[in-house]
Structure 1
Amino acid sequence: MVSLEHIPVLRPSLREMEDPIGYLSQPNVRRLGHIYGMVKLVPPEEFKPPLSIDEETFKFKARLQYLNELNISNRGRLFLMKQLNNFYMRGKRRPDILLSKPYRELKSAELVYYYDLLIAVVRFFNEDTKKEKRASLASFSGRKRPLSRRFSEETAVPAASDLVLVPLSDIMDNVALWKEVSTTLVASADELKEVFLTVLAPYYDFLQRKSGLYGDHVSLMSKLIYTEEFPKSLLHDSDSSSDDDEEEEEGCTICQKMSHRSKTILCDSCDKPFHIFCLEPPLNDVPRGKWVCNNCIFGNGYYGFKEEDKYYSRKTFQELCHDYDSQTWPLGDKLQNLDALEILFWEKVNRIDKSKPIRYGADIHNVGPGEMTGFPTADYVPPGVLQDNEDLKKYAAYVKHPMNLVNLPSAKGSLLSVFGKKISGMTVPWIYIGSTFSTFCWHLEDQYTLSANYQHEGDPKIWYSIPEGSCQKFNELMRNIAPDLFQKQPDLLHQLVTLIAPYDKRFQEAKISCYKAVQYPGEYIITFPKCYHSGFNTGYNFNEAVNFTLDLWLPYGVEATRDYVGTGKRCVFDMWELMLTVLVEYLENPKKFDEALVRRCHSELLRMFNLEMKTLDQLACVVKTQNEATGFTRRHIDDHTQLDVKVTVSRAGSYDDEYVSGISSDDESDGDDDIFCTLCKTICPFAFVAHRTSSRYSKRRRLHSISPAEWNHLAEKGDMEVLCAQDYFKLVERAEEDGAAAASSDTDPIEQFKYDELYYIRQPDEIRDILKRAQRKIDSMLR
């Protein structure tokens, strides 16, 4: 195993720890963060905040982790084995085939995984397709492009490319193909062809013919798999719900309705119900024998962690960890050689055979006093501290200390405080209670913010970091290993469920920079923007983590907003509203923020606002403009209240429409105050369009006063789409193109948009005024 360089260890003084944002903003520290992605902070010996947990009330559930399934290659292989068995089960195509292993042993004693073989075949043809697409884009660049395409290129990262499946007849006798596949898999071409012919060919042919129904270059997965409210993993270890009664009451998976029981069929793989007339293509009658749904044959790519039903206290979980360790390492020498322990961890991850589950108390976000954080707080003081005045004085100092992770997000210089609201897991810490080999998978922090992780007690935590300079290489490697999984789950790397060892040969060949850290009690790990990180625990430990920002973060936050459009990941907060808030605060107090930060906020916001207004102006002939949506409480320029503190919650039953009754004011308690685009999932920055997709909504409705949560609820029900300017323009453009293609039709393509309405989240004139006033003040400061 190659050796990884360790990240830098910084030792700030007590005085420097009083200004953590200033300390981390120093040029030398920022440079280290850029190079390594992470740094370790070791506080002075005197800094020892006591673990302040209410042992009587603090309880948590543990998630179950099967390490072999977290390996990206293993998961693709296990998924395909299940999909093949489901395929052959449906209609009794090949009752003799029931795969128990995801591989075939060849005569040469080599193993070939069915998944690796299938991907190698598909990749051979898709490499040519990528070249054709690049050539096509190059030739297209000289022509005038539609506005929606220009808008997309300027603001968003493109989504993952479609996988193109060529006809089976193009595969079997393709000499060049099998030569390349033989080289890739290091096996005989004849043996590989035989495996493909006997096991994979019928399944591949089925996929190809199904995808052909939708055109050669249309995403297979987006047409053949369907969205599920409660998806299940094909590996059956990660059901999203353990409530059997809830699942018994589940309606049709496609339409969610519980009617037509006699026309309902159950999938013999996932047990989910379907109306036979909702299927594509629909069935005339309930078929006899085994029947399997599309998601179980094609695979939806879903994977998640199952959570135990029981609750642990800190003490009972610690005892469980001790029992496991004493049985596995009876001599108690587990931590004597961390390198050997690390090798064993990755062996367990790389082994495809399932092992016993590992328990991890991750993402614990309790809210009660003595349960939210392990740091001292004013809400809870441990009984022992109350008995000693000197201890109580020290405790009070830690309550207010900026390196207390409860305070760090709002420390001087961190932008997250300007929202005036708490975001669980970002501005409010989450607790992590580890056991031996429990793991946190590769991921980036939400919206590319910085993070701080503090270990209160326990055994070491091993960390790995991929700095921003290798981000793109890492993304490409993971997508190259499992392209189908990313097509089905574009935000896979945001789901924290996927691993690859930094010691993997493919990882090394991709020339990805990776560094290592060992975190002990009393130490902080700081991750910098756009740093992929992962790791595992070497035993019981108690950590917590929170997010914060430095001035250097702002362009990364803008980049994340654009990148999320390509993967469909939702933003946690509105980046544009944050920058607008900075400008408003700057107008009131010019010394509050660094001038370079203010200028960057102004330029980014101005660029985005002008682009949005230009798009909306060109839609004026299509969409009706409504007044500002009054379901929002937004700060006006001359107010001295906090911007965006609270969303106005309308009273239930105050509308003339039944379709808003599905959500009550209680659902607003989580701070959901953003409107999300139905298609790209981005937060609509300044305005949105309500696009009616159902005849139920053909009449004008009073929608301007409903809250953001209710808008999002309407979109989720499917009778209405809430669209950002970019996606709405694309919709209109496609309708015009379709109308031009069918010129003989009497139907006006714009007719479908006649009931659509534009809503401003904040009036454009107000934003223009803020931008102009901020520009004048910036100019005056430069004189």
Structure 2
Amino acid sequence: MGKGRPRAVEKGVLGQNLSVSSSGSLNILSGPVYYPTEEEFRDPLEYIYKIKPEAELYGICRIVPPKNWKPPELNSDSFTFPTKTQAIHQLQVRPAACDSETFELEYGRFLDDHCGKKLRKKVVFEGEELDLCKLFNAVKRYGGYDKVVKEKKWVEVSRFVRSARKISECAKHVLCQLYREHLYDYEKYYNRLNRKAGGSGYKRGLHEEGKSEHEVESSGSKRRRKNIGGDKVKVCKVKEEEEHDQICEQCRSGLHGEVMLLCDRCNKGWHIHCLSPPLKQVPLGNWYCLECLNSEDCFGFVPGKKKYSLETFRRVAERAKKRWFGSGSPSRVQIEKKFWEIVEGSVGEVEVMYGSDLDTSTYGSGFPRANDQRPQTVEAKVWDEYCDSPWNLNNLPKLKGSMLQAVHQNITGVMVPWLGEPKCWYSVPGCQASAFEEVMRKSLPDLFDAQPDLLFQLVTMLSPSVLQEKGVPVYSILQEPGNFVITFPRSYHGGFNLGLNCAEAVNFAPADWLPHGGFGADRYRQYHKAAVLSHEELLCVAAKVTSFDL
């Protein structure tokens, strides 16, 4: 190629190289693909620095090595690995963590205090008990009852309360009527309290307005809940001269009770400024600490019970692909379209099994290493050449010009698939990170209410079509085996494999990454999270060690 230009751009076809969105229309622009010459390929950091002004605008790029760059294939016959499963159908369409008992307690008080009714023991929808807590959060996700009716979102809402591929027109009407009958007034009351509680500084109970024998005495009071067996709520007033009723689990102080937030499941307390992330005010409604969220109704990855060899896992993958697409070879368009149908909840329950986060020090690397045993089929000269190659991911973080020379632990941007099917990537560039985060929060308000640090968890996806509708650019990359994919600082990226895929990844950090590292350290500190590495230590080591080679 020469001069570090992506071939797609040179040929003027970037605008035609598109991906398939969930709706089936071609509207996702592809990120740049680079084809370095043998000379350009000699120094990874120098080459990446060369293409960075252009590639960083996409947040991602693909680098295809010269044809003569062929690392030796390693023996994978004895390779076994653990697996995890993940519910793909819940990456976007899942209810927030919901404690039905606490919801019923609050909802029952509302009915008793404001409607003069008693909570019905059972609301039935299509022969099954309807979870009002899930239904309430589902309608909240789509903007409330009035907006759901106006935009005809009852199909989407139904996916939160039952697992079914289709819902009839009659069932949509019934679900709408059930919400109107049982939850519409509660929604209006909930929203009214939310507006009033704007900066109140304490957590309002949903029973505080109107007639109630349990009233909050002042803005410095805090109620404690007992949710087991339907016990009544106990309200306790914090006074400086009395023993503290509650202490913060983080700072162990009982002071400042007016900003003490109590978990609705375990009744433990935290100051709102001691939370991860800190809150500006005590939120309305139910709130659960991380320990309770993680111990029950937690969404993420479930470890498998057995290990697989690569060949056994390949057979499992082939059977799965045959079930979905028949005996033929499905195209990228077909697989991508089906993937987003699953993510958006229109296909039903789908769990995938995969091996991820495998430590190369335990399970081995796809690149040769000096301490690895050389296969007899590989010449010693070739082995040594690729052991020392700067593109060997075991060497890349420690190269001249990399700030990670000062880091002794391995941390997992560069991704290289060794074998199998391509991987489809999506990227939002770092310059659009704030816009992306805003769209995520507005699109999934219930999830962020329950888990403010949701974006740190890597368990949520939003359709590219939704982001594009809100003006957030999304780019796509199709990575073939042997290609390198570079992701740039602050960019958001995700994707899926088009079949069995075995890949390896590592981080690297040129000197111009340091401002981004500082930003990341501040962000982790804001959310009270332990950083992957100490940014301050990295700066100190880089400043003190005279042999540090930039």
Match 1:422 to one of 409, 427, 440: 409
Cα distance in 2, alignment partners of residues 38 and 531 from structure 1: 8
Amino acid at match of 1:216: S
Q: Which position in structure 2 is the counterpart of 1:567? A: 527
The question of whether the paired residues in 1 share the 8 Å contact of 2:420 and 2:481 is answered with: yes
1:66 pairs with 2:90: no
Q: Which position in structure 2 is the counterpart of 1:453? A: 415
CA deviations over 1:483-537 (Å, ceiling 9, x no partner): 2322332221121100111123xx2221111111111111110111111100001
- Which aligned pairs between 1:466-477 and structure 2 lie closer than 5 A? 466-477=428-439
Shift of 1:216: 3.2
Q: Which position in structure 2 is the counterpart of 1:108? A: none
Cα distance in 2, alignment partners of residues 422 and 64 from structure 1: 27
1:465 pairs with 2:427: yes
Shift of 1:575: 0.9
Amino acid at match of 2:315: E
Cα distance in 2, alignment partners of residues 213 and 411 from structure 1: 54
- Which one has the bigger helix percentage? 1
Cα distance in 2, alignment partners of residues 304 and 182 from structure 1: 31
1:322 pairs with 2:310: no
Amino acid at match of 2:423: K
The question of whether the paired residues in 2 share the 8 Å contact of 1:120 and 1:184 is answered with: no
Match 1:17 to one of 41, 49, 54: 41
Cα distance in 1, alignment partners of residues 129 and 430 from structure 2: 38
Q: Residues 213, 342 of structure 1: CA spacing in aligned structure 2 closer, same or farther, 3 A cutoff?
A: closer
Q: Residues 102, 542 of structure 1: CA spacing in aligned structure 2 closer, same or farther, 3 A cutoff?
A: farther
Q: Which position in structure 2 is the counterpart of 1:448? A: none
Q: Which position in structure 1 is the counterpart of 2:352? A: 358
Amino acid at match of 1:406: N
Q: Which position in structure 1 is the counterpart of 2:541? A: 581
What secondary structure, in the 3-state scheme, does the structure 1 residue paired with 2:507 have?
strand
Q: Residues 527, 481 of structure 1: CA spacing in aligned structure 2 closer, same or farther, 3 A cutoff?
A: same
Shift of 1:209: 8.3
* TM-score normalised by structure 2 residue count: 0.67
Match 1:117 to one of 129, 139, 145: 139
Amino acid at match of 1:381: Q
Cα distance in 2, alignment partners of residues 219 and 409 from structure 1: 48
1:480 pairs with 2:442: yes
Shift of 1:219: 6.7
Q: Residues 403, 566 of structure 1: CA spacing in aligned structure 2 closer, same or farther, 3 A cutoff?
A: same
Cα distance in 2, alignment partners of residues 225 and 392 from structure 1: 70
The question of whether the paired residues in 2 share the 8 Å contact of 1:224 and 1:294 is answered with: no
What secondary structure, in the 3-state scheme, does the structure 2 residue paired with 1:579 have?
helix
Cα distance in 2, alignment partners of residues 9 and 366 from structure 1: 28
What secondary structure, in the 3-state scheme, does the structure 2 residue paired with 1:511 have?
coil
- Which aligned pairs between 1:104-503 and structure 2 lie closer than 5 A? 114-119=136-141, 183=150, 195-199=179-183, 201=185, 216-218=200-202, 295=288, 300=293, 302-334=298-330, 337-351=331-345, 354-368=348-362, 371-385=363-377, 391-419=379-407, 421-423=408-410, 425-426=411-412, 451-503=413-465
Cα distance in 1, alignment partners of residues 153 and 299 from structure 2: 30
Q: Which position in structure 2 is the counterpart of 1:687? A: none
Amino acid at match of 2:200: D
CA deviations over 1:108-161 (Å, ceiling 9, x no partner): xxxx96435335667xxxxxxxxxxxxxxxxxxxxxxxxxxxxxxxxxxxxxxx
Q: Residues 83, 353 of structure 1: CA spacing in aligned structure 2 closer, same or farther, 3 A cutoff?
A: farther
The question of whether the paired residues in 2 share the 8 Å contact of 1:8 and 1:39 is answered with: yes
Match 1:75 to one of 76, 94, 98: 94
Shift of 1:358: 0.9
Amino acid at match of 2:353: R
Cα distance in 2, alignment partners of residues 35 and 338 from structure 1: 25
1:554 pairs with 2:514: yes
Cα distance in 1, alignment partners of residues 178 and 105 from structure 2: 22
Q: Residues 523, 179 of structure 1: CA spacing in aligned structure 2 closer, same or farther, 3 A cutoff?
A: closer
Q: Residues 411, 219 of structure 1: CA spacing in aligned structure 2 closer, same or farther, 3 A cutoff?
A: farther
Q: Residues 34, 224 of structure 1: CA spacing in aligned structure 2 closer, same or farther, 3 A cutoff?
A: farther
Amino acid at match of 2:87: Y
The question of whether the paired residues in 1 share the 8 Å contact of 2:422 and 2:480 is answered with: yes
Shift of 1:330: 3.4
Q: Residues 317, 218 of structure 1: CA spacing in aligned structure 2 closer, same or farther, 3 A cutoff?
A: farther
Amino acid at match of 1:38: I
The question of whether the paired residues in 1 share the 8 Å contact of 2:368 and 2:387 is answered with: yes
Cα distance in 2, alignment partners of residues 102 and 374 from structure 1: 50
Amino acid at match of 1:23: Y
Cα distance in 2, alignment partners of residues 279 and 207 from structure 1: 26
* Unaligned 5+ runs, structure 2: 1-24, 109-117, 155-171, 206-221, 226-247, 250-264, 270-285
User: How many residue pairs get matched?
Assistant: 423
Cα distance in 2, alignment partners of residues 321 and 224 from structure 1: 53
Q: Which position in structure 2 is the counterpart of 1:686? A: none
Cα distance in 1, alignment partners of residues 473 and 465 from structure 2: 11
Q: Which position in structure 2 is the counterpart of 1:596? A: none
Q: Which position in structure 2 is the counterpart of 1:94? A: 120
Cα distance in 1, alignment partners of residues 347 and 319 from structure 2: 24
Cα distance in 2, alignment partners of residues 558 and 69 from structure 1: 33
Amino acid at match of 1:488: A
Cα distance in 2, alignment partners of residues 224 and 411 from structure 1: 57
The question of whether the paired residues in 1 share the 8 Å contact of 2:31 and 2:58 is answered with: yes
What secondary structure, in the 3-state scheme, does the structure 1 residue paired with 2:80 have?
coil
Q: Residues 496, 87 of structure 1: CA spacing in aligned structure 2 closer, same or farther, 3 A cutoff?
A: same
Cα distance in 1, alignment partners of residues 308 and 147 from structure 2: 53
The question of whether the paired residues in 1 share the 8 Å contact of 2:420 and 2:501 is answered with: yes
Cα distance in 2, alignment partners of residues 569 and 200 from structure 1: 38
Amino acid at match of 1:592: D
Q: Residues 225, 460 of structure 1: CA spacing in aligned structure 2 closer, same or farther, 3 A cutoff?
A: farther
Q: Residues 375, 492 of structure 1: CA spacing in aligned structure 2 closer, same or farther, 3 A cutoff?
A: same
1:51 pairs with 2:112: no
CA deviations over 1:138-185 (Å, ceiling 9, x no partner): xxxxxxxxxxxxxxxxxxxxxxxxxxxxxxxxxxxxxxxx86675566
CA RMSD of aligned residues (A): 4.1
Q: Residues 119, 518 of structure 1: CA spacing in aligned structure 2 closer, same or farther, 3 A cutoff?
A: closer
Amino acid at match of 1:96: K
What secondary structure, in the 3-state scheme, does the structure 2 residue paired with 1:95 have?
coil
What secondary structure, in the 3-state scheme, does the structure 2 residue paired with 1:362 have?
coil
Match 2:549 to one of 592, 595, 598: 592
1:526 pairs with 2:486: yes
Cα distance in 2, alignment partners of residues 460 and 216 from structure 1: 53
Shift of 1:94: 2.7
Q: Residues 225, 538 of structure 1: CA spacing in aligned structure 2 closer, same or farther, 3 A cutoff?
A: farther
